């Protein structure tokens, strides 16, 4: 918001206070078998535990997360794919396609994710990318767009057919965070059993966390090759907290993921730091109840961090003509900066309510909770 730098501004800073606070900060201790591991907040992307998360390694079939999301985003999921000889000859895990077979792309993506079909991966790549090589180009372009700085793809399935096909635990977490914003991807990755529409097949998901080992599992992708060893990406959700875990070369990957998930759920909680709508701290200022933010600000915090959150709201200094003509007030009148320990974790514009910008409406439950908190004496604020 460049114009704020050029204008006189009013600063309002307030801190969040909670009932409990611990002085000592405990570093996460999680014992994992993986050579590389990471667990992140699925919403903010915050890294909660990591082990060699930026080391480049072979990744096996978790490659197929990229293949799946590109197929979904192509808009061709209902199209019919004619399976090529090249796809049929692909080594490793398979959904047993035959040359010339006609299959809906959607079925191929389910077979890719649930049964890790390498033949499905090649068939998808040829249909969506025009050729396998064209699709690989798309994969690397998407990786660059997502900031996957230590990733290079050379195939759509993850087989060890090229020495320079690699990624990192952190990069795969970034990719999964992006993929999980797509409703169709979430549905497919979280499907336990699927009956194909255009070919013979009732497929059970290979992800044992999803099918029974972990009650909070919401999906993911397994992988294995002789060189990469066991790789695993998994997601979970509990009490409004969404997590993404990745392990590479992990002999005991199921337990690694359960340990990481349980540690975070035991030590962290998702807090709403600022609610969408008007900003109570501005009630007695020029802006009153007309200034607002359009979305909630949520963040995953542990007990040691809760008092380290500060919110700074920077507002344009009101001009005299604004008092006479409200229409002269800009749509954006400020900026809210949410900080944790001095570092910005969220930054969003402050809007002024007018005909163009309508304040988000609160649900009945949100209004009820707001009134209840005031009556009960909710979190205190200082300005």
Are residues 237 and 138 part of one domain?
yes
Are residues 208 and 97 part of one domain?
yes
Check whether 5 has a pLDDT greater than 70. Answer: no
Which residues are within 8 A (CB) of 283 and not within 5 positions of it... i.e. 6 or more apart?
A: 289
Residue 267: name the closest of 278, 259, 276 by CA.
Answer: 259
Residue 366 in 3-state DSSP?
Answer: helix
Average pLDDT over residues 116-145: 98
Mean pLDDT of the chain: 89
What pLDDT is recorded for position 378? 37
Which residues are within 8 A (CB) of 109 and not within 5 positions of it... i.e. 6 or more apart?
A: 68, 71, 72, 77, 120, 124, 188
Are residues 338 and 230 part of one domain?
no
Check whether 370 has a pLDDT greater than 70. Answer: no
CA dihedral sign, ordered 313, 316, 317, 320: negative
Q: pLDDT of 268-289, one tens digit each?
A: 999 999 999 999 888 889 999 9
CATH number at residue 58: 3.40.710.10
Distances (CA, A) of 147 to 37, 173, 262: 18, 11, 28
The answer to whether residue 173 sits within a structural domain is yes
Are residues 16 and 162 part of one domain?
no
Are residues 297 and 168 part of one domain?
no
- What angle do helix axes 64-73 and 132-145 make, rounded to 10 degrees? 90
Point out the residues that are catalytic: 61, 64, 116
What pLDDT is recorded for position 17? 41
- Which of 21-35, 51-65, 206-220, 240-254 shows the lowest per-residue confidence on average (mean pLDDT)? 21-35
Number of domains in the chain: 2
Confidence of residue 359 (pLDDT cuts 50, 70, 90): confident
The answer to whether residue 150 sits within a structural domain is yes
Are residues 232 and 162 part of one domain?
yes
Confidence of residue 72 (pLDDT cuts 50, 70, 90): very high
Average pLDDT over residues 193-213: 97
Confidence of residue 372 (pLDDT cuts 50, 70, 90): very low
* Contact between 221 and 233 (Cβ < 8 Å): yes
Domain boundary among 201, 221, 251: 251
Confidence of residue 332 (pLDDT cuts 50, 70, 90): very high
Domain boundary among 251, 281, 301: 251
Are residues 128 and 89 part of one domain?
yes
What pLDDT is recorded for position 255? 98
Per the structure, the complete domain to which residue 365 belongs is given by 2-21+270-376
The answer to whether residue 283 sits within a structural domain is yes
CA distance linking residue 112 with residue 135, whole number of Å: 15
Confidence of residue 304 (pLDDT cuts 50, 70, 90): confident
Average pLDDT over residues 127-136: 98
Are residues 226 and 84 part of one domain?
yes
Are residues 235 and 294 part of one domain?
no
Percent of the chain with pLDDT over 90: 80
CATH number at residue 290: 2.30.140.30
Are residues 178 and 289 part of one domain?
no
pTM score of the predicted model: 0.85
Check whether 319 has a pLDDT greater than 90. Answer: yes
Check whether 119 has a pLDDT greater than 70. Answer: yes
> Does 294 appear as a known binding residue?
no
The answer to whether residue 263 sits within a structural domain is no
Distances (CA, A) of 72 to 34, 182, 186, 187, 300: 30, 9, 11, 11, 29
The answer to whether residue 258 sits within a structural domain is no
The DSSP secondary-structure symbol of 210 reads I
Q: pLDDT of 205-227, one tens digit each?
A: 999 999 999 999 999 999 999 99
Are residues 54 and 10 part of one domain?
no
């Amino acid at each position: 918001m460049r114009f704020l730098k050029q204008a006189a501004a009013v600063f309002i800073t307030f801190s969040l206070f909670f009932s409990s606070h611990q002085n000592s900060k405990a570093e996460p201790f999680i014992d994992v078998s993986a050579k590389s591991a990471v667990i992140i907040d699925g919403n903010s992307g915050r890294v909660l535990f990591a082990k060699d998360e930026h080391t480049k390694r072979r990744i096996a079939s978790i490659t197929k997360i990229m293949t799946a999301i590109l197929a979904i985003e192509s808009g061709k999921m209902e199209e019919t794919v004619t399976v090529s000889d090249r796809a049929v000859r692909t080594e490793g895990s398979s959904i047993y396609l035959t040359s010339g077979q006609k299959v809906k792309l959607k079925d191929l993506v389910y077979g890719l994710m649930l049964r890790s079909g390498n033949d499905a991966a090649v068939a998808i790549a040829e249909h969506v990318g025009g050729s396998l090589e064209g699709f690989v180009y798309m994969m690397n372009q998407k990786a660059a767009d997502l900031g996957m700085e230590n990733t290079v793809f050379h195939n759509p399935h993850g087989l060890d057919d090229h020495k320079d096909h690699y990624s990192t635990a952190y990069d795969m977490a970034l990719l999964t965070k992006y993929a999980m914003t797509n409703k169709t991807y979430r549905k497919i990755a979280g499907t336990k059993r699927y009956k194909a529409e255009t070919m013979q097949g009732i497929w059970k998901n290979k992800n044992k966390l999803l099918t029974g080992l972990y009650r909070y599992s919401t999906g993911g992708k397994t992988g294995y090759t002789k060189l990469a060893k066991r790789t695993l990406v998994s997601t979970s959700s509990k009490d409004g907290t969404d997590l993404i875990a990745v392990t590479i070369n992990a002999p005991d990957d199921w337990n690694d993921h359960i340990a990481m998930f349980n540690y975070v759920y035991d030590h962290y909680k998702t807090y709403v730091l600022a609610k969408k709508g008007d900003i109570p701290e501005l009630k007695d200022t020029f802006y009153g109840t007309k200034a607002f933010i359009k979305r909630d600000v949520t963040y995953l915090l542990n007990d040691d961090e809760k008092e380290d959150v500060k919110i700074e709201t920077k507002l344009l200094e009101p001009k005299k003509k604004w008092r006479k003509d409200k229409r002269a007030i800009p749509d954006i009148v400020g900026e809210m900066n949410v900080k944790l320990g001095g570092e910005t974790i969220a930054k969003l514009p402050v809007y002024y309510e007018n005909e163009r910008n309508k304040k988000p409406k609160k649900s009945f439950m949100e209004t009820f909770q707001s009134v209840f908190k005031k009556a009960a004496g909710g979190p205190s604020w200082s300005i």
